[in-house]
Amino acid sequence: MTSGYMIAGYLLTWGALLTYVWRLSVREQRTRRALDAERTALN
């Protein structure tokens, strides 16, 4: 009795966590670039 709901739930769990990690890396990159820009502007 394979349940579509069960599959959806596990996909949702994996999807949500992986998406969050991806969003973190995007923000990390953006912040790092902004920090580099500000620091070179300082010099």
Partner 1 sequence: MGKTQKILGFLALLLFIIGSVVGLFIVRADAAMGDVQRLMYVHVPAAWLAMLAFFIVFIMSVLYLVQRNPRWDLIAASSAEVGVLFTALTLALGSLWGKPTWGVWWTWEPRLTTTAVMLMIYIGYLAVRSFADDPDKRARWSAIVGIVGFIDVPIVYLSVYWWRTLHQPPSSPRSVAPEILFALLLNLLAFTVVYVYLLMRRYRLAVNERELERIVAHHTRQISHD
Interface contacts to partner 1, rule CB under 8 A: 1-3, 5-6, 8-10, 12-14, 16-17, 20-21, 24, 27-28, 31-32, 34-35, 38-39, 41-42
- Minimal distance in Å, beta carbon 3 to partner 1? 4
Residue with tokens 């579509």: 4
- Minimal distance in Å, beta carbon 4 to partner 1? 8
- Minimal distance in Å, beta carbon 17 to partner 1? 7
Question: Quick one: which H or E segment has residue 2?
Answer: none
18: Cβ–Cβ under 8 A, 6 or more apart, which residues? none
